[in-house]
A and B are shown apart, each in its own frame.
Chain A
Amino acid sequence: MRMNARAKETLAAYGFLAPNLIGFMVFTFVPVFFSLVLSFYKWDILTTPQFIGFDNFIHLLGFGRDPVTNHIIAKDPKFWQYLWNTVFLMFSIPVCMMASLALAIALNRKVRFESMFRTIFFLPSICPGVAISILWLWIFNPEYGMLNNIIYWGGKLMGFNLMGPLWLNSPGWAKPALMLMNFWIAIGGMNMILYLAALQGIPRDFYEAAEIDGANGWQKFWAITWPQISPTTFFIAIMSIIGGFQGGFMQAYIMTGGGPGGATTTIEYYIFNNLYTWQNVGYAAAIAWFLFMVIFVVSLINWRFGGKLVHY
């Protein structure tokens, strides 16, 4: 049988695609739907799965009256606490972005040792997360850790007797501690590189024109730099939010066990525990799909408004 060139090309294309496509189907595409199916079941992997309709979702998101006090309470109050934790940890995003931008602007000023600085800033984001988490667990040690030592000796320098907080052992300080660590990891990483690339993409004559008009540095920043890098800012914000909703597993598992009192348990860690620790596969799938929907909405915002915020 003779084939025309087009049929031949299609056949060749599927040949090239096959290895990746088969794996993609088995390990990504089918599982997405399989996990939606699982979310309608109660299953511990070992026994026969039980179809329970929307029960997982009703338990996850529903409210009901407490039989004793008759107050309206969430059916799974833990989930709402963990969702709040996840959102709370994301409050560090704007600060992180500002710091990344500040570093990028400084690097963009034709400084000496630029590549050395860039390498140093990038280091925390390439190191294995486990090693970083273990390191910070030790840094946060209230008695012998680096941070409280610095606070103590810093206080001495200024004539105070300062005592650092208990950090990860304190319900109030655990989240800020993790935010500090995330800040340290994130500021010099991808975001700074993206900002640096955006800054380098701004045409020089924009600034020259502004200088002729007598604009000062501050005016130049708000009139030229900020609008020009706004697509990057938007992109970083969206990516950080998407990442933030899925974050916090490693820190919770290694540093805090999700505590104290659930203060550092995030959605991702809750999914892990439902899947692995409690073998509650259907419920884990329901939470994962909830997370998916949240991220889907964020992505929609990105598609809808991402184009419009671009200033050229």
Chain B
Amino acid sequence: MSEAAQKEKALQVFAYAVLGIGALSMIMPFLWMITTSLKTLDAIYIRPKNWIQMFIPTMFIWDNYVQSFKVVPFAKFYMNSIIVGIAVTVGQVFTSSLAAYAFSRLEFKGRDKLFFAYLATMMIPGSVTMIPVYVLMRLFNWVDTYNALIIPAIFSAYGTFMLRQFFMTLPKDLEDAAKIDGCGFFRIYTTIILPLSKPALATLTVFTFMGNWGSFMWPLLVTNSVGMRTLPIGLESFKTQYSTDWHFLMAGSVMAMLPIVIIFIFTQRYFVESIKLTGVKG
């Protein structure tokens, strides 16, 4: 084997080593979480005697998952997260796509200035706007209602920006043909723009739903009662009530992650594409 080929092979082995170590350190905490979720509370508080005991329980207590629904109203938290997640996602994709259509395909006075204002707000830290909106929720008497959880989360500059970037890439000819046929703007939006933008719409849908699923500070601010809590806040309530019940906490965390992980595995190519679309232009 020539020297160059040997070097190349060594580099390849090194690349696999980097990836392998990386993957192992990513997976280990998750493995530890699942292991803990399947142990009895007594087993959790015994120091493992070797590597195997650390990651494989001696007994698999699947009942922990059932029990965690009983110690806190976990099903209710789950339902709230699903309701809020779907409502926010539908609202955001709908309003963002309408606005993105206007910004990308229609000519009107002040368009670019207005779009710049949208972009500029993406730079503002969330806490700046969160404070007055929280005050607003108190004044509207929306605290502890679905309104507070859903409505302020719908309007997003990011969604508008992302869809606008995508709509800009669509060819103009189809639209022109439709205009000659006498199609109105709304028909063009529903019959041409939306069907051509399925990947971008899917991406925004997945992004919004996942982002909302993990949303923590806002639901914490605007909910008080147990019945209005979403999953992340609910997990937190696990902790304060049963501060040492790590098996339930880990079972709850596994269940909170599961839908997101499943969605991600099926939609990951959209993620990669949209990061490239809105990130730096290479």
Q: Interface residues, chain A, CB within 8 Å of chain B?
A: 6, 9-10, 12-14, 16-17, 19-21, 23-24, 26-32, 34-35, 38, 45, 102-103, 105-107, 109, 111, 115, 117-124, 126-131, 134-136, 138-139, 143-144, 146, 149-150, 153, 184, 187-188, 190, 193-194, 197-198, 200-201, 217, 231-232, 235, 242, 245-246, 249-250, 253-254, 268, 271-272, 275-276, 281, 284-285, 288-289, 291-292, 295-296, 299
Contacts and interface: CB of A to CB of B under 8 A. Distances in A.
> Which bucket holds chain B's interface residue count?
35 or more
B107 interface: yes
Contacts of B138: 45
B251 to A, nearest CB: 11
Contacts of A10: 106-109
Given A118-B268, A149-B47, 13 more contacts: A16-B98, A16-B185, A26-B155, A106-B16, A118-B272, A127-B261, A128-B231, A131-B232, A153-B50, A193-B271, A245-B125, A253-B236, A275-B130
Given A16-B101, A128-B257, A120 B23 contact: yes
A117 to B, nearest CB: 5
A21 B216 CA distance: 25
Interface of B: 7, 11-12, 14-16, 18-19, 22-23, 25-30, 32-33, 36, 44-45, 47-48, 50-51, 54, 94-96, 98-99, 101-103, 106-109, 111, 114, 117-118, 121, 123-136, 138, 151-152, 154-155, 157, 160, 184-186, 189, 210, 213-214, 216-217, 220-221, 231-233, 235-236, 239, 246, 249-250, 253, 256-257, 260-261, 264-265, 268, 271-272, 275-276, 279-280, 282
A27 B155 contact: yes
A118 B221 CA distance: 35
B272 to A, nearest CB: 6
Nearest to A181: B29
Contact of B124 (A32, A117, A253): A32
Contact of A246 (B26, B126, B132, B236): B126
Contacts of A117: 19, 22-23
22 contacts: A9-B107, A10-B108, A24-B121, A27-B129, A32-B128, A109-B12, A111-B19, A123-B26, A126-B261, A127-B214, A128-B257, A134-B249, A146-B54, A149-B47, A188-B22, A197-B275, A245-B125, A253-B216, A254-B236, A275-B134, A285-B132, A288-B125
A38 B133 CA distance: 12
B99 A21 contact: yes
Contacts of B25: 184
A129 B216 contact: yes
B54 A149 contact: yes
A123 B32 contact: no
A138 B127 contact: no
Nearest to B123: A299
A29 B123 contact: no
B102 to A, nearest CB: 4
A130 B155 contact: no
Chain B interface, >50% SS class: helix
A14 B54 CA distance: 61
Nearest to B92: A20
A146 B217 CA distance: 28
A20 B131 contact: no
Given A118-B268, A194-B275, A198-B280, A295 B54 contact: no
